[in-house]
């Protein structure tokens, strides 16, 4: 019978290899290390810390390599904690941190004596999910489903060219978009453009084309929903989701006509 390797033993094994030669570690080693650190119990974390301390006491010449390896792990953990590994977009945590930052900025601006210009105090949150992704995932498998999510990511990035426009993937087939300096009319215009794109968007695999529809919800960032910033951010995201599910009907797949929406839009929304 193959002996069971404990979390502490696996962490120690990765770290010993890192200290011997940090450049030998693969991205898989880093991902496994982060996963183990996140899943470790307090006792396992304490045991791993004792192992590292004893290793350095016995081998003081390894301090430099230890510091290099430790820095590499911490950098990777920091990046991995905020990035969606599949698409390269920000993940759920990054989304909430970014909206929290926008929430604070808008609240300060509203509370100041300066009159905001160019909708500087307005931020739109767009929630969307993919209506027909499950069929692709269930029929063609998760690997192809992952390809479809990357395909969707590229199309959204092409549609939103402004550097201040941010796209996040909290999980599954859900995406969150934040639009700075954007009033409600402009936000609805962008939502219409997204729906129009998805109404004809097809993911091609092995010569076969698969349609991808979407449902969209819009919420203008409201800093008055709760005095607690974290709860206010969650409330804004919930309202965006509620609007999404209200729109999750057959009418939501209709192609929006740009000519029907005549508004003064921010730069690059055209």
List the CATH number of the domain containing 171: 3.30.70.270
pLDDT tier at 73, thresholds 50, 70, 90: low
| Domain ranges, residue 66 | 7-80
Using an 8 Å Cβ cutoff, are 22 and 68 in contact?
yes
| Domain assignment present for 268 | no
Domain termination site, one of 80, 105, 135? 80
At 253 the pLDDT is 44
pLDDT tier at 78, thresholds 50, 70, 90: low
Look at the chain and report how many structural domains it folds into: 2
| Domain assignment present for 267 | no
User: Is the domain of 166 the same as that of 198?
Assistant: yes
Give pTM, 2 decimals. 0.68
Bigger pLDDT: 40 or 199?
199
**Alpha carbon distance, N-terminus to C-terminus of the chain:** 65
Output the CA–CA distances (angstroms, integers) from residue 81 to 84, 90, 93, 233, in the order listed: 8, 9, 8, 19
| Domain assignment present for 270 | no
């Amino acid at each position: 019978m193959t002996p069971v390797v404990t979390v502490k033993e696996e962490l120690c094994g990765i770290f010993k290899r890192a200290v011997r030669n940090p450049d030998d570690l693969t991205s898989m080693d880093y991902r496994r290390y982060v996963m183990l650190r996140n899943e470790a119990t307090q006792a396992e974390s304490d045991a791993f810390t004792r192992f590292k301390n004893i290793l350095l006491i016995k081998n003081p010449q390894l301090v430099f390599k230890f510091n290099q390896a430790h820095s590499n792990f911490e950098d990777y953990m920091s990046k991995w904690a905020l990035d969606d590994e599949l698409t390269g977009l920000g993940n759920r945590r990054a989304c909430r941190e970014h909206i929290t930052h926008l929430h604070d900025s808008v609240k300060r601006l509203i509370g100041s004596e300066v009159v905001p210009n160019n909708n500087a105090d307005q931020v739109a949150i767009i929630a969307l999910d993919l209506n027909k992704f499950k069929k692709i995932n269930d029929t063609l498998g998760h690997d192809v489903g992952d390809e479809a999510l990357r395909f969707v990511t590229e199309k959204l990035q092409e549609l939103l060219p402004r550097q201040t426009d941010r796209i996040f993937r909290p999980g599954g087939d859900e995406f969150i978009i934040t639009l700075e300096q954007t009033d409600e009319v402009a936000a609805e215009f962008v939502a219409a453009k997204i729906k129009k794109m998805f109404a004809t968007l097809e993911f091609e695999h092995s010569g076969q084309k698969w349609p991808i529809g979407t449902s969209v919800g819009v919420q203008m960032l409201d800093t008055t929903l709760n005095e607690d910033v974290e709860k206010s951010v969650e409330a804004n995201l919930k309202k965006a989701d509620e609007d999404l599910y209200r729109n999750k009907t057959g009418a939501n797949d209709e192609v929006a006509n740009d000519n029907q929406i005549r508004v003064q839009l921010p730069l690059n929304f055209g």
